[in-house]
Copies of this chain bind each other. A is one copy, B any other.
Amino acid sequence: MLKTNDDTRIDVTALMNEMGRSAHAAARPLATASEAVKNAALHAMADALEANERQILAANAIDVANGAENGLSAALMDRLALTPERIGAMAQGVRAIAALKDPVGDVIAAWERPNGLKIERVRTPLGVIGVIFESRPNVTADAGALCLKAGNAVILRGGSDSANSSAAIHACLIEGLRAAGLPETAIQLVPITDRAAVGAMLRGLSGTINVIVPRGGKSLVARVQEEARVPVFAHLEGLCHLYVDASADPDMAREIAVNAKMRRTGICGATETLLVDRAAADTHLVPILTALSEAGCEIRADSAVRSYYPTAAPASDDDWTTEYLDAIISAKLVDGIQGAIDHIETHSSHHTEAIVAEDPLAVERFFNEIDSAILLHNASTQFADGGEFGMGAEIGIATGKMHARGPVGVEQLTSFKYRVRGSGQLRP
């Protein structure tokens, strides 16, 4: 179905630059496309995904067979495999994006100057977005649909493991664009698996890419940080903390801890470190650790915690900076809210942190003094998700502080411009 990376006769740079030029050209009509036209395209895409279920499953079967042959891990195989249910969910996801409010043209702010100039700040598309992802084929549909809704052209570069599945899904997206009369180059999928294509995207395809969204593990993130010459929605680790204050309701603390760690251990909003107020060691600590252990969680603890809960393994220094993405938690006693803030500001990846407390002063200090994208009070860190925030869908969670922070939904995929209305004003 696809040319593979063995075809060395392809001039990768020329091919990629041509994709950049096509995307840039498509960005202009997309930026002014009406909400109705964009939604028509999205609904046609969803319909095409359902109508082409058989073709998508056949393409996916090739990827799954290749993956088994290449010895992909069980977790990767699970991400890769599609089913009729998963394809249906993908189509529903695209329809949900169609149902979101169109951000383009929104007046974010408006004011008038003493000289009569009327100024307004209006949302615009970003332009061309480059999405680099790994083995999840459904990202093809999610990212393509989200970028389109925000009026952006997108260049998708999926992992080689899911190349056939992504191509089959991409064909459905093209069908939707065509049905709505939008340029087919609005959503392009890089047709080669040569890693040089990623490098070309990170260099910006001769100024045509406005932002790169990397969705992948540490090696991709490291490469992006090293090579990117264009802005990036950085997603570093989700080294999330849960702090249990002495003022916390013990039952709530226990239930939140188990949900925050164990609901799904592989997502970036999963808690990795539990901090318990030293003043709560006698009351809250052991019930929480017992519940976590009963739920199948391994506990690695400092010596103070182990004096209360001796079956925990001893934590090493590395445990305070490790994103396990697994049924393991590090646990530590800290000196109240100040100790929690100090530990988090020192070790956190500034993604998501939660506090369980009834003391409003502790909560206010936690909210004010910790500089992470998402801070939660009396709720599970697993709520760190665009859908849970009501954004409808997200292309990822940004841990950087520029432009977007936290869930990146359609609104975060826009920029803005100023429109100024005058009546002949000259600047003195």
User: Footprint of B on A, CB under 8 Å?
Assistant: 28, 31-32, 105, 111, 113, 117, 119, 124, 126-127, 210-211, 225-226, 229, 231, 249, 252, 255-256, 259, 263, 345, 367-369, 371-380, 382-383, 385, 388-390, 400-403, 405-406, 415-427
Contact = CB atoms under 8 A, between A and B. Distances in A.
A418 B402 contact: no
B229 A375 contact: no
A223 to B, nearest CB: 13
Contacts of A418: 373-375, 389, 406
Contacts of A28: 345, 369, 371
A369 B403 contact: no
A417 to B, nearest CB: 6
B427 A415 contact: no
A420 B377 contact: yes
Nearest to A114: B390
28 contacts: A28-B371, A32-B369, A113-B388, A117-B379, A117-B388, A119-B390, A126-B402, A210-B401, A226-B229, A231-B400, A231-B402, A255-B426, A373-B417, A373-B418, A374-B420, A375-B419, A375-B420, A376-B422, A377-B419, A377-B420, A377-B422, A379-B420, A379-B421, A379-B422, A388-B427, A402-B403, A405-B415, A406-B418
How many copies of this chain? Answer: 2
A229 B226 CA distance: 7
Contact of A425 (B372, B383, B403, B422): B383
A255 B427 contact: no
Contact of A420 (B113, B126, B383, B421): B383
A378 B345 CA distance: 50
A170 to B, nearest CB: 26
Contacts of A345: 28
Nearest to A376: B420
Given A371-B417, A406-B418, A417-B405, A380 B256 contact: no
Contact of A426 (B117, B380, B417, B422): B380
Contacts of A379: 117, 420-425
